[in-house]
A and B are shown apart, each in its own frame.
Chain A
Amino acid sequence: MIRLVPEWARHYEEFWAAIRKRNIWFIKLRYAAILALLVFIVISEYILDFSLTYFQVYSLLIIATAILVYNVILHLVKDRIKEIPGKFNVLHFSLLQILLDLLSLALIVYLTGGAVSPLYYLFIFHMIIGSLILPGKVVYTLAVSIIFYFLIFSLLEFYKYIPHQYLSGYIGTSIYDNFKYILISNFIFSFVILTSVYFANGIARQLYKLEQDLVESFDKLHKAEIEKQKYIMAVVHEIKSPLTVVITYLDIILSKMLGPLPEQIEERIDRAIIRVREAVGLINNVLRISKLRLLDEIVYEEYEIGQLVENVLSARKSNLESKRISTETIDQRKDKITLLGDKFLIEMVISNLLSNAIKYTSHDGNIKIALWIESGYTKLSISDDGIGIPKSDLEKMFGDFFRASNAKRDGFEGTGLGLSIVKQVVEKHHGTIVIDSPSDIGKEGKPGTQATISLPLKQESTDSKLKKHVE
């Protein structure tokens, strides 16, 4: 079977999708054409008084029925045609449709006057449609066949080998036996057909090529983005190594293995360790973002979100105590339900939200953590009565490096990387996150912020990303 697939159609998917769409379009258009043919018969008979002979009327009706029959068949089988290049595929299906249509049209044109039929322009229309999908060779072959068909029929009629059919009520006496007319109409017809095919085919080709270039450029961009992320990971990772050495040395000094430390120095080294750990924390965040973007997948394991909340609270105990922030955890879930996801990343999300709450809550403030289940989702909200977030900033806050205007003004330290990761992690788990301000425990002058994450209770068990199941 001829492959038909043009060599420039390198991106098969888009190409096939376009052909499929056109096939459906042809079928729909054909129903309209059948209707048009019937309307033509009625109008020519009763309104325009073309005085069709019985032979013409019955033949046209038979043709209309034949078109209807093959169109219904095409309609029924269209979904069974596959896109396998080597076999009968959707492209052959298009060619088949065009051939059937050309045959029907050839008969209609013959019945309505041949070279003097008002309908022979429709050949041009068919050839333009054909040019949009078929490769050049096939369309040109079709075009030349039509030109020959037209020439041969007009000559056969001219030499009276076959009876001439025409619309006597339309043109009175037909000029099918006028040689000059036959010559000129054939010449112009051939010229128009060939030039239409040439232009339409060229334009279609260009369009496909443009589309493919676009797809290729997009692929390249995507690859470049991945390369960039890999590069960032490598660089950031290189920065992390010396920092870990610094921490290790400072730890050793602080543990007094090398000898006693004056209190003043001990305090500063303690601070130094905190600050370097902060840097390592940031680096880890960047690495995690890159990983999320690079691999676009997470490892699934079972976890209990209440347990993660407890872990995070105990890890942040000293921060909470030093600011005398009181916390309250309200767990409204009836049972402890395990969720599926990357435990480490979810814990990071909770930790991130809690540390934001701590950071932006003043001394003696309050933080409320609530857990509940609502329409198939486990919900976790962390509310504080801190400085809150201005309304104008609420929408922008999930961007990389975003920090609320009042946070910058009030001199809070931070990089703004947190929420961007949090959102990505939650979304990778098919969940959502909403940040509100004021919060449900906000007060006058202390509006507070409330972060609510929703995580689906059930991941589809068929999830292809379900890689690992840890007991």
Chain B
Amino acid sequence: MALIAVIDDDLDIIDASSLVLKTHGFDVVTATNPDDGYRIIKEHKPDLIILDVIMNEPDDGFFLAQKLRKEGISIPIIMYTSVSKALGVQYDKGEMVPVDEFVEKPISPEQLLKKINDLLEAKGKEKK
């Protein structure tokens, strides 16, 4: 079964995301800060990463995503954000921030699962 890493400093978001993912048969590893996040990604090599954009600093998530891509790690990333348009920062796919999907909080369990499955499917096709 696919392994998903959830990196968010909000323990409730981690709890809720894990709950949804585990209920639907995914394995989950979690971290509450970018450093631990980096560590668990290197250690567990998850199939997909769910990353919150704001942790200690407003753009922690971005830096982690950039760091991973620079190291050639191409695991799909879904970025949780509650900023996007509201804060006036325009995040576009691939532009500056190398993530695969932006998701504005709150997201319903169905939508989240759909995005995850779509990304995993796309990744599977790529491999073949």
Asked if B82 CB lies within 8 Å of chain A CBs, one says: yes
Set of chain A residues within 8 Å of B94, measured between Cβ atoms: none
Residue pair B88, A294 in contact (C-beta under 8 Å): yes
Asked if B120 CB lies within 8 Å of chain A CBs, one says: no
Identify the closest chain B residue to A285 (Cβ): B86
Asked if A44 CB lies within 8 Å of chain B CBs, one says: no
Residue pair B82, A249 in contact (C-beta under 8 Å): no
Asked if A428 CB lies within 8 Å of chain B CBs, one says: no
- Stretch of B8-16, B31-39, B71-79 at the chain-chain interface: B8-16
Please tell me the number of chain A residues within 8 Å of chain B, measured between CB atoms.
26
Identify the closest chain A residue to B12 (Cβ): A245
Residue pair A237, B83 in contact (C-beta under 8 Å): yes
User: Measured between alpha carbons, how far is A176 from B117 in the docked complex, in Å?
Assistant: 108
CB distance from B54 to the nearest CB of A (A): 9
Residue pair B16, A245 in contact (C-beta under 8 Å): yes
Q: A245-B16, A252-B109 are in contact. Are A233 and B82 (CB under 8 A)?
A: no
Residue pair B13, A248 in contact (C-beta under 8 Å): yes
* Chain B interface category by residue count: 20 to 34
Set of chain B residues within 8 Å of A78, measured between Cβ atoms: none
User: Measured between alpha carbons, how far is A438 from B111 in the docked complex, in Å?
Assistant: 42
Asked if B87 CB lies within 8 Å of chain A CBs, one says: yes
Asked if A295 CB lies within 8 Å of chain B CBs, one says: yes
User: Measured between alpha carbons, how far is A221 from B19 in the docked complex, in Å?
Assistant: 49
Set of chain B residues within 8 Å of A247, measured between Cβ atoms: 106
Asked if A446 CB lies within 8 Å of chain B CBs, one says: no
Q: Which of A241, A248, A291 contacts B16 (CB 8 A)?
A: A248
User: Measured between alpha carbons, how far is A247 from B110 in the docked complex, in Å?
Assistant: 13
- B-facing residues in A221-274 (Cβ within 8 Å): 233, 237, 240-241, 243-245, 247-249, 251-252, 255, 257-258
User: Measured between alpha carbons, how far is A94 from B75 in the docked complex, in Å?
Assistant: 70
Q: 1/0 per position for B10-28, CB-CB distance to A under 8 A?
A: 1011001101100100000
Residue pair A291, B87 in contact (C-beta under 8 Å): yes
What are 13 A-B residue pairs whose CB atoms fall within 8 Å in the complex?
A233-B86, A237-B87, A244-B106, A245-B13, A248-B13, A248-B17, A248-B106, A248-B109, A252-B19, A252-B20, A291-B85, A291-B87, A295-B88
